[in-house]
């Protein structure tokens, strides 16, 4: 019989530890420590308490926990001395059924890994969907993680242990994250559509109005119809728009959505998660034959990433009346103009102004998005409350010094352009760090025509500065630019600097942020508030209506714009549940 939270909360301490036996391999101390957090409000709360029990333990305990795990396809498996849980997991991943070549490869990796890190390689082999990674995925992950820094890898091992525990807890409590599985599967199926040239490489690339892009739109629209939306259509810029009408006609509308285009060789969840999570909510409402006192509109935005044309946020921008007709003459890499691409896709350019929304008819905009960063993953927290989308400024600059012989120019007679930029980079790093939540990056750095034996005569660089509000961002910019001036004066070099981009911060509307907080808190997971370092469609809607975002933890350190981008079925389940709670609570508010 499945374990229940009530039974666990009510059990005497020894009995409670026994009920959690085997969740953390050969380490009952994890359960003992976690039980101090009883009563558990939810399974997610229990999972977090167990992860916290490890995070706050003296360092020798987590290391012992890692070492308590068997090697993958190792001696314990051969000798059949694995725990029942481990046997089932390794079996599900096909590891009990390796070819001699695979076994040899895994043994070599086990040996190299053990020598480097001093503990066994730990991977949640049932994977982010819970149904088992392939042997190929396991070996590729093993090879990749062998290159990690030891500190990082130790933390990654613990995160995998927490994921193993999560799946074991789901099994023990008889819980299937069915909604999370559906959201996962929709994203997986949508990723079958990818632009030509990338399909062959097994990479996901969906840029604006390509065949793959239009196939995605058709697929999303089809699923929205199946889910039970009242109306589904593709608008004049290619956005997929589904509406689930209110209980009473004329009620206001809650707007949500995210983008379905991707960067080149991107991830499957960036953007798409924010379409499918609310789609799952509508499907459940329809199944219950339930109407809300407000209409619910889910938009799959056609263009956010600005990959094929420099028209970033074209999809969400069109909803607030931002469409620059000059974009129409832009050509893609093959010389196809945006105008022709839109005509080819059957879009009517003259209809674009008509899709501008009247903010008076909307309650606000909410967006669910994968975090695209490492923070939630490191903290073992599944959902994050976004406080603001950072405002940013970008510059491209160049410092001009004097090229001279690297052997004959004494150190006190140099005008080294690269050294000046190096000083600037370190200053920007320290200045941004001082704020705690500002960021500054020099991502491009180049000594044009540099030589190994020449003091750099000039040095080109980029500068990207972001912060949760504009005054904070502008203060960092002012300090960094003042320092650039001072460095150049001191070194006797000159510089040019050009502002390439400026975007205002989009702080979350307090009432909407509070609605996400209430929903997340009701799930029993800790509230964690954080700014969004990346730009999102919500930035556009922010200009005309209140908005707030919810982040979902990514795994693999939250890597994004990369095929390794991922999240789990359990976290997606929590995202759907949080959204359902937000809708339910909003329905209970007086005249929202």
Question: Binding residues for Zn ion, per CB under 5 A?
Answer: 270-271
Q: How far is the CB of 509 from Zn ion (least distance, A)?
A: 20
The secondary structure element, H or E, covering residue 384 is strand 383-389
Q: Which is nearer to Zn ion, 128 or 266 (CB)?
A: 266
CB closer to Zn ion out of 113 and 269: 269
CB of 255 to Zn ion, least distance (A): 17
Q: How many CB atoms lie within 10 A of CB 349?
A: 15
- 307: its two tokens: 């990959």
For residues 394 and 441, the answer to whether their CB atoms sit within 8 Å is no
Q: Nearest distance from residue 261's CB to Zn ion, in Å?
A: 9
**Least gap, CB of 316 to Zn ion (angstroms):** 11
- Cβ proximity to Zn ion: between 401 and 554 the closer is 554
- CA dist., res. 174 & res. 12, Å (int): 22
| Overall residue count recorded for the chain in this entry | 592
CB of 258 to Zn ion, least distance (A): 6
Nearer to Zn ion, 370 or 476 (CB): 370
Q: What would the two tokens of residue 358 be?
A: 């009247």
First to last CA, the chain: 43
Q: How does strand 362-370 pair with strand 547-552?
A: parallel
Distance between CA atoms of residues 431 and 303, nearest Å: 34
Q: How far is the CB of 536 from Zn ion (least distance, A)?
A: 6
Residue (210 or 560) nearer to Zn ion, CB: 560
Instruction: Work out whether strand 439-441 and strand 454-455 pair parallel, antiparallel, or are unpaired.
Output: unpaired
CB nearer to Zn ion: pick between 98 and 279: 279
Distance set, CA 457 to CA 383, 416, 422, 487, 492 (Å): 49, 6, 14, 16, 12
Judge whether 179 and 573 are in contact, CB under 8 Å.
yes
Burial bucket for residue 390 (CB in 10 Å: 0-12, 13-18, 19+): buried
Q: For Zn ion, which is the closer residue by CB, 5 or 534?
A: 534
- Minimum distance from CB of 306 to Zn ion (Å)? 11
Q: Which is nearer to Zn ion, 203 or 409 (CB)?
A: 203
| CB of residue 574 to Zn ion, shortest distance in Å | 19
Rounded CA-CA distance 237/299 in Å is 12
Please count the other Cβ atoms lying within 10 Å of the Cβ belonging to residue 519. Answer: 22
Please tell me what DSSP assigns to residue 272: T
């Amino acid at each position: 019989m499945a374990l229940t939270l009530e039974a666990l909360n009510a059990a005497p301490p020894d009995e409670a530890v026994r009920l959690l036996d085997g969740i953390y391999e050969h380490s009952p101390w994890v359960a003992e420590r976690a039980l101090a957090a009883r009563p558990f409000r939810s399974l997610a709360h229990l999972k977090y308490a167990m992860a916290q029990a490890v995070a706050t333990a003296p360092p020798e305990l987590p290391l012992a926990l890692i070492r308590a795990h068997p090697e993958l396809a190792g001696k314990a498996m051969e000798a059949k001395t694995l725990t029942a849980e481990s046997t089932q997991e390794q079996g599900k991943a096909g590891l009990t059924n390796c070819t001699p070549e695979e076994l040899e490869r895994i043994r070599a990796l086990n040996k190299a890994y053990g020598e480097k890190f001093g503990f066994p390689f730990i991977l949640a082999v049932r994977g982010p969907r819970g149904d088992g990674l392939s042997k190929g995925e396991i070996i590729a992950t093993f090879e990749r993680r062998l290159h990690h820094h030891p500190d990082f890898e130790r933390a990654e091992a613990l995160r995998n242990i927490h994921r193993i525990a999560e799946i074991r807890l789901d099994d023990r409590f008889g819980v299937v994250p069915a909604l999370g599985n559906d959201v996962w599967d929709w994203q997986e199926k949508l990723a079958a559509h990818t632009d030509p040239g990338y399909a062959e490489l097994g990479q996901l690339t969906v840029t604006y109005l390509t065949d793959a892009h239009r196939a995605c739109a058709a697929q999303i629209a089809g699923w929205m119809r199946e889910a039970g939306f009242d109306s589904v259509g593709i608008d004049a810029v290619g956005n997929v728009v589904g509406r689930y009408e209110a209980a009473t006609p004329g009620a206001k509308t809650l707007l949500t959505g995210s983008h379905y285009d991707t960067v080149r060789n991107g991830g499957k969840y960036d953007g798409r998660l924010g379409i499918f999570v609310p789609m799952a909510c509508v499907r459940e409402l329809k199944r219950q034959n339930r109407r809300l006192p407000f209409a619910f509109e889910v938009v799959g935005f056609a263009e956010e990433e600005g990959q094929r044309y420099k028209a970033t946020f074209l999809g969400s921008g069109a909803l607030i009346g931002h469409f620059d007709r000059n974009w129409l003459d832009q050509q893609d890499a093959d010389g196809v103009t945006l105008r022709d691409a839109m005509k080819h896709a059957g879009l009517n350019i003259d209809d674009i102004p008509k899709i501008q929304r009247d903010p008076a008819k909307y309650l606000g905009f909410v967006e669910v998005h994968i975090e695209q960063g490492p923070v939630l993953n490191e903290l073992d927290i599944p959902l994050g409350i976004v406080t603001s989308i950072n405002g940013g400024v970008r510059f491209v600059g160049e410092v001009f010094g004097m090229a001279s012989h690297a052997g004959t120019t004494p150190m006190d007679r140099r005008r080294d352009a690269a050294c000046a930029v190096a000083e600037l980079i370190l200053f920007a790093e320290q200045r941004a760090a001082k704020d705690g939540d500002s960021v500054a990056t020099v991502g491009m750095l180049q000594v044009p025509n540099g030589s190994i034996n020449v003091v750099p005569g000039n040095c080109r660089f980029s500068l990207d500065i972001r912060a949760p509000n504009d005054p904070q961002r502008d203060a960092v910019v002012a300090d960094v630019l003042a320092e650039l001036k001072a460095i150049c004066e001191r070194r006797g070099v000159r510089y040019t600097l050009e502002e390439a981009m400026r975007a205002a911060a989009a702080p979350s509307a307090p009432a909407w942020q509070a609605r996400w907080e209430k929903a997340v808190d009701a799930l029993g997971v800790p509230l964690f508030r954080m700014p969004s370092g990346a730009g999102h469609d919500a930035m556009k809607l922010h200009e005309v209506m209140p908005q707030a975002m919810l982040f979902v933890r990514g795994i693999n350190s939250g890597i994004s714009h990369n095929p390794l981008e991922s999240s789990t079925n359990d976290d997606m389940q929590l995202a759907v549940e949080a959204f359902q709670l937000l809708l339910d609570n909003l329905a209970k508010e007086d005249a929202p």
